[in-house]
Amino acid sequence: MISFLNNYFNYNHFFISGILTVYLIYLYFNIKNIDKMIFIIKVLLIFNFVTFYGYLLYFGDFNYRVHLPLHLCYITELFLFLSLIFKIKMLYPWIVLNGLGGGVTGFTNSNLPPDSLLIENIHLHLSHFNLLLFTLIAFKMRLVITKSHFLKSILLNLFIFSFAVWFNIEYGSNYWFTMSRPPGTNLALLFSDWPYYLYGLIIIGIISYCLTFKIFSSNISK
């Protein structure tokens, strides 16, 4: 049964992403109360963390070379959770800049191998759903991203990227895919082998940042 569900989840990435996209649209247009939306995302974040790490630790499948929240979307989701729990808005622009492009990328691409666990697929979809949901919440909140936010966010990502490179070299991992091309069907297939696919992904990330900045720099209530 688990094997069947696992294969179903893997081979229907776009179908599941489509369902989640419809649900995002539903939440955006049907829930007017921002506090209620924030409550929903808090519940989803807790559920995602508890089920993912709880499952991996309980069944002995946790691997620090793969499952640490060091990929940009996962570390963004972690800081989103901390920001909401402690009611700190300082990182909201960085979260949105990472979240919009990262969420869309996660819905349209998969970096998981065909034999990945069902819980890993659930985690991938739910994590990117949470990022997109918060982006919609931030848009409703009329969050404005300034040039200063934009530059500081790039510098913060550069720091995290540098740490990921060091960690990968030190422990033989592949966070941010700095050592080898990500598995699965994803944008990296559009580019040549290392390091050119990495340059391509970085360029796509910068374009995403610019588009998100364009949307939220003019998100001012009239």
Cβ atoms of 136 and 215 closer than 8 Å: no
pLDDT value at residue 185: 82
Report pLDDT digits (tens) over 106-120. 999 989 888 889 899
Distance of CA 81 to the CA centre of its chain: 13
Alpha helix stretches (DSSP H) within 86-146: 92-108, 118-140
CA distance 222 to 214: 17
Split at pLDDT 50, 70, 90, the class of 82 is very high
CA distances from 109 to 65, 105, 162, 202 (A): 21, 6, 24, 15
Tens of pLDDT, residue by residue over 151-180, are 999 999 999 999 999 999 999 999 999 999
Pick from 139, 57, 68: nearest CA to 103: 139
Round to whole Å and give the CA distance between 159 and 156.
5
Dist. CA 122–CA 42, nearest whole Å: 17
Q: For the stretch 145-171, what's the b/e string if a residue is b when 16 or more beta carbons lie within 10 angstroms of its beta carbon? A: beeebbeebeeebeebbeebeebbeee
The string of pLDDT tens digits covering residues 189-211 is 889 999 999 999 999 999 999 99
DSSP-assigned letter for residue 141: T
Instruction: Return the higher-pLDDT residue of 121 and 4.
Output: 121
Residue 88 Cα distances to 70, 83, 85, 147, 207, angstroms: 21, 5, 8, 20, 27
Alpha carbon distance, N-terminus to C-terminus of the chain: 54
pTM of the model: 0.93
